[in-house]
Structure 1
Amino acid sequence: MPQLALDIGFLTELHTLQKPVKKGVVDAWRKFRELSLPQLLADKGLHVEKLRNALDPHIRTIRISGFWRGVVLAPESGETFVLLKVLPHDEAIAWGSKQKSSINRVTRAVEVRDAGALEELAPAVAELEIPEKPPLFSDVSDGDMRKLGVDDDTLRRVRTLNSLDQLEMFAPFLPADQCEVLMFLATGWPVEAVWSDLVAHRRDETEEVGADGFDEAVRRTPSRMALVTATEDLQAMLDMPFAAWRVYLHPSQQNVAYRSTYWGPAQVSGGPGTGKTVVALHRVKHLLGRLGPDERILLTTFTNVLAASLRESLRQLVPDARLRDRVDVLTVDALAHQVVARPGGGDFQPLRGGEELDYWQRVIDEQDLPWTPQFLDQEYRHVVVAQGLSSADAYASARRRGRGSGLHPSRRPQVWQAIERFIDLLAAGKRCTYLQRAALAADLVTATGHLYRHVVVDEAQDLHPVQWRLLRAAVPDGPDDLFIAGDPNQRIYDSKVSLKSLGISVAGRSTTLRKNYRSTQQILQWSAGMLLGHGVEGLAEAEEDEALRHYRSALHGAIPETHEANGPDAEIRALVARVRRWLDAGVDPGEIGVATRFARQGKAIERVLGVEGIPVRQLRHDVPDASRAVAVGTMHAFKGLEFRCVAVLDVRAGAVPYPKALTPPETDQRQYDADLMAERCLLFVACTRAREELYVSWSGRRSAFLKR
Structure 2
Amino acid sequence: MHIAPRGEDGPLPQLAFANTFWDKYEQLEKPVRAGVRKAMKKFQQLTVAELRADKGLHLESVENARDPRLRTIRITDFWRGVVLAPDDGGDTFLLVNVVQHDKAYEWAAKRLYTVNTATRGLEVRNVVAIEQLTPVLEQTATKVQERLFDGFSDASLTRLGIDAGTLRAARTITDKAQLEAFASLFPEDQFEVLQFLAEGFDEDTVWREVVAVRRPTDPGPYDPDDLSSAIANTHSRITVVTGAEELEDILTKPFAAWRIFLHPTQRRVAYRATYTGPAQVTGGPGTGKTVVALHRVKHLLQRSPHAGRILLTTYTTALAKSLRESLALLLEDEALLKRVDVTTVDALARDVVRRRRGSVPRLCDDADERFRWRKVQQNLGLEWNEQFLSQEYRHVVLTQSISTEDEYLRVVRRGRGSALGPVKRTQVWRAMRMFEQGLRKDGKCTYLQLCAEAARLLGEPGAGDPPYAHVVVDEAQDLHPVQWRVLRGAVAPGPDDLFITGDPHQRIYDSRVSLGSLGIPVAGRSSRLRINYRSTEEILRWAAALMEDEPVESLSGDGKDSLAGYRSLLHGRRPALRGFGSEDAELNAVVAKIREWVAGGAAPAEIAVAARFHQTLDKVKARLERAGLPAVLVREGPGQQDVGVRLATLHAMKGLEFRCVAVIGVTAGTFPFPPAVTPPDVDRLQHEADMLAERCLLFVACTRAREELYVSYTGRSSRFLPAAADIEG
Report the TM-score range of the alignment, normalised by the length of the smaller protein.
Answer: 0.7 to 0.9
Q: 1:639: Cα distance to partner?
A: 0.6
**1:369 paired residue among 359, 382, 385:** 382
Aligned in 2, Cα 1:560/1:604: closer, same or farther, shift over 3 Å?
same
> Quick one: distance in 1 between partners of 2:243 and 2:557?
50
Native 8 Å contact 2:631 2:646 kept in 1:
yes
1:12 aligns with 2:23: yes
Q: How does 1:223-262 map to 2 (within 5 A)?
A: 226=238, 228=240, 230-231=242-243, 236-262=249-275
* Match of residue 425 from structure 2: 412
Aligned in 2, Cα 1:546/1:100: closer, same or farther, shift over 3 Å?
farther
What secondary structure is seen at the aligned counterpart in 2 of 1:269? strand
> Quick one: distance in 2 between partners of 1:624 and 1:494?
26
Q: 1:474: Cα distance to partner?
A: 1.9
> Quick one: distance in 1 between partners of 2:59 and 2:241?
21
Native 8 Å contact 1:25 1:64 kept in 2:
no
> Quick one: distance in 2 between partners of 1:54 and 1:241?
29
**2:101 paired residue among 89, 92, 97:** 92
1:272-302 Cα shifts (integer Å, max 9, x gaps): 1111111112222333443547x43322211
**1:62 paired residue among 60, 69, 73:** 73
Letter in 2 for 1:560: P
> Quick one: distance in 1 between partners of 2:337 and 2:87?
47
Letter in 2 for 1:526: W
**2:540 paired residue among 503, 524, 528:** 524
1:507 aligns with 2:523: yes
Aligned in 2, Cα 1:324/1:310: closer, same or farther, shift over 3 Å?
same
What secondary structure is seen at the aligned counterpart in 2 of 1:420? helix
**2:566 paired residue among 547, 551, 555:** 551
1:614-655 Cα shifts (integer Å, max 9, x gaps): 222221148997252222111111111211221111111111
1:387 aligns with 2:387: no
Q: How does 1:612-631 map to 2 (within 5 A)?
A: 612-621=627-636, 626-631=641-646
Q: 1:667: Cα distance to partner?
A: 0.7
* Match of residue 207 from structure 1: none
1:643 aligns with 2:655: no
* Match of residue 133 from structure 1: none
> Quick one: distance in 2 between partners of 1:624 and 1:401?
39
What secondary structure is seen at the aligned counterpart in 2 of 1:282? helix
Q: How does 1:195-210 map to 2 (within 5 A)?
A: none
What secondary structure is seen at the aligned counterpart in 1 of 2:722? coil
Aligned in 2, Cα 1:217/1:556: closer, same or farther, shift over 3 Å?
farther
* Match of residue 121 from structure 1: none
1:111 aligns with 2:120: no
1:585-641 Cα shifts (integer Å, max 9, x gaps): 222222222211112212222222223232222211489972522221111111112
Native 8 Å contact 1:257 1:283 kept in 2:
yes
Q: 1:331: Cα distance to partner?
A: 1.8
* Match of residue 606 from structure 2: 591
> Quick one: distance in 1 between partners of 2:143 and 2:84?
33
1:700 aligns with 2:715: yes
1:471-507 Cα shifts (integer Å, max 9, x gaps): 1112222333222111111100021101000011123
Q: How does 1:205-216 map to 2 (within 5 A)?
A: none
Native 8 Å contact 2:66 2:111 kept in 1:
no
Letter in 2 for 1:419: M
RMSD: 4.7
* Match of residue 209 from structure 1: none
Native 8 Å contact 2:587 2:620 kept in 1:
yes
1:332 aligns with 2:345: yes
Aligned in 2, Cα 1:52/1:425: closer, same or farther, shift over 3 Å?
closer
* Match of residue 726 from structure 2: none
Native 8 Å contact 2:64 2:109 kept in 1:
no
What secondary structure is seen at the aligned counterpart in 1 of 2:553? coil
* Match of residue 689 from structure 1: 704
Letter in 2 for 1:176: S
Native 8 Å contact 1:318 1:324 kept in 2:
yes
Native 8 Å contact 1:28 1:64 kept in 2:
no
1:518-542 Cα shifts (integer Å, max 9, x gaps): 1111111111111121111112255
Native 8 Å contact 1:372 1:667 kept in 2:
no
Aligned in 2, Cα 1:256/1:593: closer, same or farther, shift over 3 Å?
same
> Quick one: distance in 2 between partners of 1:453 and 1:269?
23
What secondary structure is seen at the aligned counterpart in 1 of 2:110? strand
Native 8 Å contact 2:126 2:186 kept in 1:
no
> Quick one: distance in 1 between partners of 2:305 and 2:682?
50
Aligned in 2, Cα 1:398/1:353: closer, same or farther, shift over 3 Å?
same
> Quick one: distance in 2 between partners of 1:221 and 1:518?
26
> Quick one: distance in 1 between partners of 2:593 and 2:445?
45
**1:465 paired residue among 481, 484, 487:** 481
Letter in 1 for 2:349: A
Native 8 Å contact 2:280 2:501 kept in 1:
yes
Q: How does 1:293-332 map to 2 (within 5 A)?
A: 295-332=308-345
What secondary structure is seen at the aligned counterpart in 2 of 1:335? helix
> Quick one: distance in 1 between partners of 2:377 and 2:73?
77
Native 8 Å contact 1:597 1:634 kept in 2:
yes
* Match of residue 47 from structure 1: 58
**1:454 paired residue among 470, 474, 478:** 470
Q: 1:60: Cα distance to partner?
A: 4.7
Aligned in 2, Cα 1:366/1:139: closer, same or farther, shift over 3 Å?
farther
> Quick one: distance in 1 between partners of 2:637 and 2:72?
44
* Match of residue 502 from structure 2: 486
Native 8 Å contact 2:25 2:98 kept in 1:
no
Native 8 Å contact 2:280 2:527 kept in 1:
yes
Aligned in 2, Cα 1:99/1:175: closer, same or farther, shift over 3 Å?
farther
**2:184 paired residue among 176, 179, 202:** 176
Aligned in 2, Cα 1:557/1:178: closer, same or farther, shift over 3 Å?
farther
Q: 1:660: Cα distance to partner?
A: 0.7
> Quick one: distance in 2 between partners of 1:98 and 1:344?
64
> Quick one: distance in 2 between partners of 1:464 and 1:19?
47
TM-score computed with the length of structure 1 as normaliser? 0.79
Unmatched 5+ stretches in structure 1: 119-136, 156-163, 181-188, 205-211
Q: 1:395: Cα distance to partner?
A: 1.4
Letter in 2 for 1:110: V
> Quick one: distance in 2 between partners of 1:636 and 1:389?
30
* Match of residue 654 from structure 1: 669
Aligned in 2, Cα 1:624/1:503: closer, same or farther, shift over 3 Å?
closer
> Quick one: distance in 1 between partners of 2:638 and 2:421?
54
What secondary structure is seen at the aligned counterpart in 1 of 2:420? coil
> Quick one: distance in 1 between partners of 2:288 and 2:393?
35
Letter in 2 for 1:92: H
Native 8 Å contact 2:485 2:518 kept in 1:
yes
Aligned in 2, Cα 1:371/1:48: closer, same or farther, shift over 3 Å?
closer
Q: 1:404: Cα distance to partner?
A: 1.2
> Quick one: distance in 2 between partners of 1:56 and 1:176?
18
Q: How does 1:62-81 map to 2 (within 5 A)?
A: 62-64=73-75, 69-72=80-83
Letter in 2 for 1:439: A
1:656-707 Cα shifts (integer Å, max 9, x gaps): 2111110110011111100000011111111111112211111111111111
Letter in 1 for 2:629: I
Native 8 Å contact 1:523 1:690 kept in 2:
yes
Native 8 Å contact 1:299 1:330 kept in 2:
yes
Q: How does 1:414-433 map to 2 (within 5 A)?
A: 414-433=427-446
Native 8 Å contact 2:319 2:638 kept in 1:
no
Letter in 2 for 1:280: A
**1:601 paired residue among 603, 606, 616:** 616
1:23-57 Cα shifts (integer Å, max 9, x gaps): 313425887xx648xx9767656534356799999
* Match of residue 126 from structure 1: none
> Quick one: distance in 2 between partners of 1:101 and 1:203?
26
Letter in 1 for 2:105: G
* Match of residue 296 from structure 2: 283
Q: 1:461: Cα distance to partner?
A: 0.8
> Quick one: distance in 1 between partners of 2:356 and 2:382?
38
